[in-house]
Structure 1
Amino acid sequence: MRKAVFPGSFDPLTLGHTDIIERALPLFDEIILAIGTNSDKKYMFSLEERLYFLKETFKEEPKIVVTTYSGLTVDFCKEQEAGFILRGLRNSKDLEFEKTIGQTNYLMSGIDTVFFINASGKSHISSTVVRDVRRHGGDYNFMVPDAVKNSKF
């Protein structure tokens, strides 16, 4: 079984994330959307909200599993028997950052990272931008899936 983990904070889930996930589905038998927990980090959305965004968005997709984890991503991958880590790339800055992490993860565990370049028109979207626009009362709906738009959170 080809299984991948897509780790992230998903604070919140964006159309950039969904683009990567939907395009990766044909390559894997299962994709685990794994929210990393970090007690030192300040999130805009609670863990409950972020789990809801993921579960609601992919409720019709049987190949998607949503969960949380703490610790090293490669350790979580081993626990889940996942042979791949899935990551998205928006720009050259992401490439340099993710390449370093991917190489380190591979040397530590033998787990490969599969990179997807965001589709045209989605590379400007990031959770950071969504949070900033939301924090200042702007319209962020064009950057997030319906589960985030329609949320009562």
Structure 2
Amino acid sequence: MRRAVCPGSFDPITNGHLDIIARASRLYDEVYVTVMINKSKQGLFTVEERIALIEQVTRDFGNVRVEAFHGLLVDYCKQHDIPAIVKGLRAVSDFDYELQMAQMNNGLSGVETLFIPTSPTYSFLSSSLVKEVVQWGGDVSHLVPGPVLTALQGKVSRP
């Protein structure tokens, strides 16, 4: 069974994330979408809400599992016998940081990182940007799945 993990904070999941997950799900038998918990960051959505949204929007893939994890990603990979991390790259600036992480993860555990270039449609997209645009009343309906848009509108109070 070929397994990979797509890690992130997913606060919230965007169409860019979904594109990478969908592409990974075609390459691997099982894809674990792992909500990485950072106790020092206060997210807009709770971890449970993020998991529920991701499960809802990835349900049709059939080979995606969604979980949360607090700790080193390589420890998660060891626990689940996952040899590969799949990451999307939006720009060259992402590559510098992600390459360091990939080399560290490989050095710690032998886990490989595969980079998938983000679709040009989503090359500018981030969860932070989506939250900011929604807060100011902007339309992000083309940037997030429907259930996420509904959840965002229920969470964000506009000035």
TM-score (norm 1): 0.95
Within 2, Cα distance between the matches of 1:60 and 1:143? 19
Residue 36 of structure 1: how far off its partner (Å): 0.8
1:12-60 superposed Cα distances (whole Å, 9 cap, x missing partner): 0001101111112121010000001121101011112211210000112
Q: Counterpart of 1:59?
A: 59
Shift of 1:135: 2.1
The one-letter amino acid paired with 1:30 is E
Q: Which amino acid aligns with 1:140?
A: V
Shift of 1:147: 2.0
Matched-pair identity in %: 37
CA distance in 2, matches of 1:38, 1:59: 25
Give distance in 2, aligned partners of 1:60 and 1:147: 14
Distance 2:51 2:25 in 1: 19
Q: Runs of 5+ in structure 1 lacking a partner?
A: none
Give the secondary structure class of the aligned counterpart of 2:61: coil
Report what 1:83 is aligned to.
Answer: 83
Distance in 2 separating the partners of 1:65 and 1:100: 27
Structure 2: runs of 5 or more not aligned:
none
SS in 2 for 1:143: coil
Task: Name the SS for the 2:137 alignment partner.
Answer: coil
Query: CA–CA distance in 2 between the matches of 1:108 and 1:36?
Result: 18
Q: Segments of 4+ in structure 1 off by > 4 A? A: none
Find the counterpart in structure 2 of residue 109 from structure 1: 109
Query: Amino acid of the residue matched to residue 50 of structure 2?
Result: R
1:137, CA displacement in angstroms?
A: 2.2
Structure holding more helix per residue: 2
Deviation at 1:144, TM superposition (A): 0.5
**Number of the residue aligned with 2:42:** 42
Q: CA deviation at 1:141?
A: 1.6
Report the number of matched residues. Answer: 153
> Match of 1:108, SS?
helix
Q: CA RMSD of the aligned region, Å?
A: 1.1
CA deviation map 1:76-134 (0-9, x unaligned): 01001101001000000101110110011001100000110001211011111101112
